[in-house]
Amino acid sequence: QVQLVESGGGLVQPGGSLRLSCAASGITSGAYAIGWFRQAPGKEREAVACINESEGATYYVDSVKGRFIISTDNVKNMVFLQMNSLKPEDTAVYYCAVDFPHPNPLGLHVAAEYDYWGQGTQVTVSS
């Protein structure tokens, strides 16, 4: 059973930075996709940044390009989201998710393709 635990959320001022971490367990051998999604009040869940290293594919939603970076540590089975130049509109609950096994290479940014989800961590950008 795959389990995901996020950490690193919090309150930050506009222009500040946060680094989210997600510890993954239960991912055995084989390809997978892992990503960060977010959901703000009254809005649909959206993909923020996703990666499928076996396909060499990375996705960023347009609104975070140049500000957020997704990275992985395969030894520690962790994925990170470095968030810079944060804006109030980045305020949301951020979720880590995994598409495993057999990730859909055409569905990297599609929430419905992801099989396992963390509990979420709140990110609030406010002065």
* Whole-number Å distance between alpha carbons of 52 and 89: 26
- 108, 112, 115: which is closest to 59 by C-alpha? 108
- 38, 42, 49: which is closest to 92 by C-alpha? 38
Stretch 8-13: mean pLDDT: 97
- pLDDT computed for residue 23 by the predictor: 95
Look at the chain and count its residues.
Answer: 127
* Whole-number Å distance between alpha carbons of 125 and 127: 7
In this prediction, what percent of the chain has a pLDDT beyond 90? 80
Q: Dihedral sign for Cα 126, 4, 67, 63, please.
A: negative
- 23, 26, 14: which is closest to 121 by C-alpha? 23
Task: Write the pLDDT tens digit of every residue in 45-104.
Answer: 999 999 998 889 999 999 999 999 999 998 888 999 999 999 999 999 999 999 998 888
Q: Calculate the average pLDDT of the chain.
A: 94
